[in-house]
Structure 1
């Protein structure tokens, strides 16, 4: 019975985890199942809903099952190109020759032509907006000489990003038995594009259509037309993968916070279904939760006494705004309790973990957030250290 409750809860909500280090154990998650709003039924092989503003996972199902990503593979192809642009390995206006191998790519294409150079910028729009397999191969050849070498680089990058259940065999997403990923890994990858390359994300992933070689093609992400807060990200489809969509939306809350959600939906039955299920998941995240700001970055939440230091105390806080999502209407039931280490002895570098905030909702513990030293406390001189050594001896 316990295992079935755990499985059901994880399907509806997933584990709550804050980017600042909030951790939740399974028994604590079970305790919250009575207060967390159940996720809607999503017709997909696997899905995940992330809040990039707080770092929380709001819902997930089969998020670690290895699935065929189809053209969602091109998220990594684009990431590799963005990284090369940032390192000045390539330039946006650089002319790229088109090989017969790239030109003959099957499936979706941007219709590049052999012996007719195309710029890196044009190829990226071809990858992102038109989902061109020919454009993806051209980028692979530009960055690694051939697609096999590029797949090796993709997998190396995947490991660096923490994609633990992903293996790429090509730059396009064309089916291969050894080409797979998960909803969780795609969520990490999409998040990294948004956070690592915001200027490229903002410029390219919201583009609704792109014309190359006299051929205008619309972005296959229908949410760009349906929801004005959606500004990305990528579709995918093959017979084996089904219809897939990674999407992201950013909405400004009444308290002034920009809240960004990221949805990964894999293996739906149709183009319409991937759109509807993604929108359903997004609306669940925005409507059923509210974002509470507990503390500001570098705000002194508490203080602790320090022995043998040039300062007699150190202020404790968090280095980023502490935001958390709670079920709508339950913000007043969210409590934060300070728990600190007892005896602190200098030197203490800024950023040292010196305690934590215990967060409770409706009386149940939902996690802990590290409390950090907001400033460095240097060691006192020899006289100060001797005085405090005596104090410590008497207190013992």
Structure 2
């Protein structure tokens, strides 16, 4: 279930814009050299640092984050499987630049196509998958733009699946962070974006990740590089340490080395200055509660969601919780039925309300059991009947 994150400096309501936490830090202070950057905490999307985050810029192969997102949605929705065979068209084969050297008529699995796209930044693989999912590349690009609008990416427009320079193809650092967050909700994607080296075609084709942070940065698990003469050097870098997942987006760095050093500087800033405290985890047992008219007298109640706080290191996290259960809980109950709420407050202000749900089901008593319980109450005062007793 979705994690709920709140921050020390400001609490974001559902409709409120994201919050920015860096105070007094400049790009020069952090050693950043790029046209636009943003550092985001993944679960909530709150911003820890930004510089020029909304300028519309070419993003090169960082575009493939959206391509991979639509592929992963199709997989997780059951529309396709990772073992499906994808046939390569002449159109897909014709694409140059970074490729996985697909041949017309060749067939590879969705799994192998994802490897090629995520690790080798395969332009031809993007087109092959677009045609497989949507029937044509142009139809798939329409899906990309529809998804961008759905996610609220206000400064993004796609013209192709792979990020090759084309007029009216652009995004922004903020929008890239939005689609990056959406992609990594599909945890299987890390099986591809975290690969350093691998092979395809039975070991005949070598893959090496274009994202050098995967090998050289502790906790790095993605996400996608990009570079063209127009976009310069770009990167959406993700890394996780101590339950905190960060996304650092760098657009328009002059050199490849500077995009990696800028991303590293952003991630270092986040990990050095913030930490995550998990207050409750989905599935944690809260208590047992009495059930009326059920074949079982009690049922366990657990938290439906995870609640964490991200605080400035050295700061205080004054969290209090209040359990509010339904006054009477009647059978029948299904696992997952809401029976209460955990109200979580900081400094007296409510920052989250977590549903409390039943861990299991409880059937309603039949008439026979109800009569038996009634008679037991009359003759035995409700005490448990011994095996040699009768009613």
TM-score by length of 1: 0.70
Where in structure 2 are the equivalents of 1:286-365 lying within 5 Å?
286-293=271-278, 320-331=305-316, 334-335=317-318, 357=345
Q: Are residues 1:208 and 2:190 paired?
A: no
The change in CA–CA distance for 1:328 and 1:147 in structure 2 (over 3 A counts) is: same
Structure 2 CA distance for aligned equivalents of residues 296 and 22 of structure 1: 24
Picking from 157, 161, 170, the partner of 1:167 is: 157
Structure 2 CA distance for aligned equivalents of residues 298 and 18 of structure 1: 24
Shift of residue 153, structure 1, vs aligned partner: 1.0
Give the gaps of 5 or more residues in structure 2: 1-6, 287-302, 323-336, 358-391
Could you say which residue in structure 2 is the equivalent of 1:251? 241
Structure 2 CA distance for aligned equivalents of residues 326 and 83 of structure 1: 32
Could you say which residue in structure 1 is the equivalent of 2:225? 235
Structure 2 CA distance for aligned equivalents of residues 144 and 238 of structure 1: 26
The change in CA–CA distance for 1:297 and 1:19 in structure 2 (over 3 A counts) is: farther
Structure (1 or 2) with the larger CA radius of gyration: 2
Per mean C-alpha deviation after superposition, the further-off stretch among 83-92 and 107-116 is 83-92
TM-score by length of 2: 0.71
Structure 2 CA distance for aligned equivalents of residues 232 and 245 of structure 1: 10
Structure 1 CA distance for aligned equivalents of residues 156 and 192 of structure 2: 25
Could you say which residue in structure 1 is the equivalent of 2:63? 73
Structure 1 CA distance for aligned equivalents of residues 320 and 8 of structure 2: 21
Describe the superposition over 1:268-307 as per-residue Cα deviations: whole angstroms up to 9, x where unpaired.
11111111111111111001223344566799x9xxxxxx
Describe the superposition over 1:215-245 as per-residue Cα deviations: whole angstroms up to 9, x where unpaired.
3131010001112311111100011111111
Q: Are residues 1:87 and 2:69 paired?
A: no
Shift of residue 50, structure 1, vs aligned partner: 1.3
CA RMSD of aligned residues (A): 3.9
Picking from 219, 226, 246, the partner of 1:261 is: 246
Shift of residue 94, structure 1, vs aligned partner: 2.2
Contact kept, 8 Å, 2:233 with 2:251, in 1: the verdict is: yes
Could you say which residue in structure 2 is the equivalent of 1:369? 351
Could you say which residue in structure 2 is the equivalent of 1:187? 177
Contact kept, 8 Å, 1:353 with 1:370, in 2: the verdict is: no
Give the gaps of 5 or more residues in structure 1: 1-13, 253-257, 302-317, 340-348, 361-366, 376-396
Describe the superposition over 1:292-339 as per-residue Cα deviations: whole angstroms up to 9, x where unpaired.
44566799x9xxxxxxxxxxxxxxxx96444333322122xx445899
Where is the helix percentage greater, Structure 1 or Structure 2?
1
Picking from 183, 194, 198, the partner of 2:187 is: 198
The change in CA–CA distance for 1:368 and 1:245 in structure 2 (over 3 A counts) is: farther
Shift of residue 263, structure 1, vs aligned partner: 1.1
Where in structure 2 are the equivalents of 1:80-159 lying within 5 Å?
80-159=70-149
Describe the superposition over 1:12-48 as per-residue Cα deviations: whole angstroms up to 9, x where unpaired.
xx9966677595899xx79x94899x97242111111
Where in structure 2 are the equivalents of 1:43-62 lying within 5 Å?
43-53=33-43, 55-62=45-52
The residue matched to 1:129 in structure 2 has which SS?
helix
The residue matched to 2:105 in structure 1 has which SS?
coil
